[in-house]
Amino acid sequence: MRPLVRPALPPQLQHVPAARLLVSAFGNFCSFCERPLLDSLWVWNAKTGQSQEGDRCTSEDWEHLYLLDHNCHEAQRHASPLDLPLLLLPTDTAAFLQEGPPLLYILTSMSRDQVNEEQKLIQSDNVDQVLISASDYRAQATIRYFALNTAYLVKDRLVVPRQDHLSLLDRRMEQRSEAWREATQAALDLREAGQSEVVKALTRQLRQLIGTTGFWSTCRAAVDLVLQDPQKLQEIFAANLPADRPVIAGLAAKHAIHFLGNGPHQPFPGTAPF
């Protein structure tokens, strides 16, 4: 889970829709599964466990708001309310302790069974998928609440209804696994690069690649396995605020710098130090 630093909400922005503020502060990624929000998104209030409606965002609301993609939104609608007060949130201090990330992302080989409506096996194959695990009870509650390993994981295998598979109902695990493979190959290319200018170019390229594919935590785990270089990880995954003073009409630069959104200028806005 990408650790986030929530900027203070200046009075000038309290009339701005919450979704726009969150995208500007943290980028257009789901706060929990980290998938890019390319088609639809929900603003979710961690204090109430409800989606936020309306165009205005008070300073009190702002402290509890996060972005969700479709699958995380659906998962939390059916989650146990007992897990809500236990959740580890991206802005919690425990999410970016220097001892290491509380959620672990590991590429794992497993069987995937496709079944029909009567739960009879139609097809079975072996797949390499990124599983999220945790030993901390709060992190475990977050995995459950948003079904970050999908509803298809049964012990150590995936059981997927055929119709779900054909309709691409929940592709979060497949997509982050593909992001792992892409990041791994790019990191291998970077490790083999010799000339300093090539290293710089490949570092920028990898940073932009991950900013496009999303799944920051998955990619960080994959790249770390290859490079094992904390300084290089900072170059690739840190927020790295722009040196130039940004301009947003009617907003002081000290506030504007935290609401620039994501793009080539900044792939991972709002990322906390790690």
Q: What is the pLDDT of residue 246?
A: 62
Q: Is residue 273 part of a domain?
A: no
Q: Is residue 83 part of a domain?
A: yes
- Domain housing 155: 11-256
Low-confidence ranges of the chain (pLDDT < 50): none
Question: What is the reported pTM?
Answer: 0.91
Q: Is residue 74 part of a domain?
A: yes
Q: What is the pLDDT of residue 245?
A: 60
Q: Is residue 113 part of a domain?
A: yes
pLDDT digits (tens, 9 = 90+) for 61-83: 899 999 999 999 999 999 999 99
SS3 226: helix
DSSP 8-state assignment for residue 28: S
Q: Is residue 2 part of a domain?
A: no
Q: Is residue 5 part of a domain?
A: no
CA distance 262 to 82: 34
162-166 long-range contacts (CB < 8 A, ≥24 apart) are: 162/114, 162/115, 162/116, 162/122, 162/123, 163/117, 165/114
CA distance 48 to 35: 23
Position of tokens 């948003």?
A: 146
Q: Is residue 104 part of a domain?
A: yes
Q: What is the pLDDT of residue 248?
A: 66
How many domains would you assign to the chain? 1
Q: Is residue 3 part of a domain?
A: no
CA angle 244/246/248 to nearest 5° reads 170
Q: What is the pLDDT of residue 94?
A: 76
